[in-house]
Structure 1
């Protein structure tokens, strides 16, 4: 399937992997693909998303909030009630074990090399091929990737779009209109 990918679609997948690494996620999910589409910036999918009011900064912030676990175990106010100063504990811990030693995100071990796609992200790639074929295209571009995300209908990417107030049907029509009939 990847041999059908245009340069912009390949760039989206590369950027999705970079987003996963930056967020310290050991997977590439639909949310990373959506970030990759926006980060790519000039393809039909990015232009449709921008046209619907989405920005990479806003989307990145939303996904970070959703995918970063709350640090409920280290409540400074609760610890202060029993006489523990969290700042002092943090300073002592970092002095012994290094910066971010109490940060669960910093402790997450990232895989070297390839980061696997989630089942939902794999399904999105499969659906992008189906979208391409349904439009009579012999290639898969970033627009087809966005159509695959929308057709999947669930996952963090679609949830982010809905919560951002995007009309999914209008977005689908917009990106479909922007996809060129032949690979550029």
Structure 2
């Protein structure tokens, strides 16, 4: 499916991964796709979403996800089983050297800096990407562009991205209707 993405749409996929890593999240969700679509304020999706920008969307995500970081959560869960994560980390570093659990960041072929940890896509984010293909086909387009990606995100409808848009007073159905009336 990714071979059908325009360069701009492909960049949104890459940027969603970068956004998830930057926020310290363990997966790529609809909220990260939303941030990626808003990254360029002059892109068709960002223009269609006037009423929220990248900074506001990020603040809303942080408000929605107010819980300990994944590592703190993991340490707490392991602690209930009698496993001290700090002790395990010390033993590993004693055997393999300091920082042996850390993966050095690397650059992709396009120059984006990412950590070595693989991030998977949430079911809702995958569904939104699949629906972007359906939106492109419905609009008789051979390629999937960023407008189709926004339409797929709206059509998925139940992810954090849509909750944030609705909370900000945007009407996703009206936005989709407008975008479908003037396909990019």
Please confirm whether the aligned pair reaches a TM-score higher than 0.5, indicating the same fold: yes
Displacement of 1:23: 0.7
Measured in 1, the distance between the counterparts of 2:2 and 2:122 equals 17
Measured in 2, the distance between the counterparts of 1:162 and 1:48 equals 14
CA 1:27 to 1:70, structure 2 compared with 1: closer, same or farther past 3 Å? closer
Which residue in 2 is equivalent to 1:25?
25
- Which structure carries more strand by proportion? 2
SS at match of 1:24: coil
Measured in 1, the distance between the counterparts of 2:20 and 2:150 equals 18
Measured in 2, the distance between the counterparts of 1:178 and 1:35 equals 23
Displacement of 1:15: 1.1
Give the TM-score, by structure 1 length.
Answer: 0.71
SS at match of 1:40: coil
Superposed structure 1 runs of 4+ greater than 4 Å apart = none
Structure 1: gaps of 5 or more residues: 72-108
SS at match of 2:170: coil
Aligned pairs, how many?
142
Which residue in 1 is equivalent to 2:81?
none
Say which of 42, 49, 56 aligns to 1:58: 56
The 5 Å alignment of 1:32-181 reads 32-50=32-50, 53-69=51-67, 112-180=116-184
CA 1:23 to 1:68, structure 2 compared with 1: closer, same or farther past 3 Å? farther
Structure 2: gaps of 5 or more residues: 70-101, 104-114
Give the TM-score, by structure 2 length.
Answer: 0.71
